[in-house]
Amino acid sequence: MAFLGPPGAGKGTQARDLAQEWGVLHLATGDMLREAVAAGSPLGREAKGYMDQGALVPDDVIIRMMGERLGRADARPGFILDGFPRTIAQAEALAKLLKDLGQTLDTVVYFDVSEPELLRRLTGRRVCRKCGHTYHLVSNPPKRAGICDACGGELYQRDDDSEATVRNRLQVYQRQTAPLLDYYRQRNTLTTVAGEGPVAMIRDAIRKAVGDVR
């Protein structure tokens, strides 16, 4: 299955926990790209320029990365795609990839979250430079300002979490990714869940929505 929604909608949190619960693979393109950037790989260097501006990484880069990943043995039992596809072209490429691999996309879950809430979530996020642990200044602050509870590392705001970049990311999303909702709605694979409220309540709504496809 795939989780769709704007940046900050909560896709990653839910995908990570539900993938573990269901015993399937969690594939987060954002994490995969950031790892490539940190490693300084050719793919990472290519992607960094786009990510720093809050723009989408080009389809061909994402598709090459995802095709390689879905071809591994650990993807065969099932997977949750988090942050992919992001465009109609990616969705069509994904359909071809899955067909070649003998896989199917059973359902697409859309997280519906208001723009003010997205801005609050994204601009308040802080990440540990050392261990990568994530905090939020309002909903999940560290015990000591600017210091990671887990390892004592420095907390920082990612470039793509500044308000100007967040607003740009949301505009890019509306322009390029929102059309996917109609794409999957027409294929009877789209289900919508409210992405605001307690995490456990949202998770229950997802379980209910996809319970018949697992």
- Judging by beta carbons within 10 Å of its beta carbon (0-12, 13-18, 19+), is residue 198 exposed, middle or buried? exposed
> Are 4 and 111 contacting, i.e. CB atoms less than 8 angstroms apart?
yes
* DSSP β-ladder status, 2-4 and 134-136: unpaired
Q: Which of 11, 48, 121, 126 is catalytic?
A: 11
pLDDT 10s digits, 139-176: 889 999 999 999 999 999 988 888 999 999 899 888 88
Q: Is 86 a catalytic residue?
A: yes
Q: Is 169 a catalytic residue?
A: yes
Which is more confident, 40 or 124? 124
pLDDT given for residue 151 in this prediction: 96
pLDDT given for residue 113 in this prediction: 94
Which is more confident, 64 or 40? 40
Looking at every residue in the chain, the average pLDDT score rounds to 89
Q: Which of 16, 69, 158, 185 is catalytic?
A: 158
pLDDT given for residue 45 in this prediction: 85
CA-CA distance, 110 to 112, in Å (whole number)? 6
pLDDT 10s digits, 22-32: 999 999 887 77
Domains of the chain, start order: 2-113+163-210 (3.40.50.300)
Confidence of residue 210 (pLDDT cuts 50, 70, 90): confident
Mean pLDDT value of segment 54-77 = 83
> Are 99 and 47 contacting, i.e. CB atoms less than 8 angstroms apart?
no
Q: Is 72 a catalytic residue?
A: no
In sequence order, the 6+-apart residues with CB closer than 8 A to the CB of 137 are 124, 125, 126
pLDDT given for residue 29 in this prediction: 84
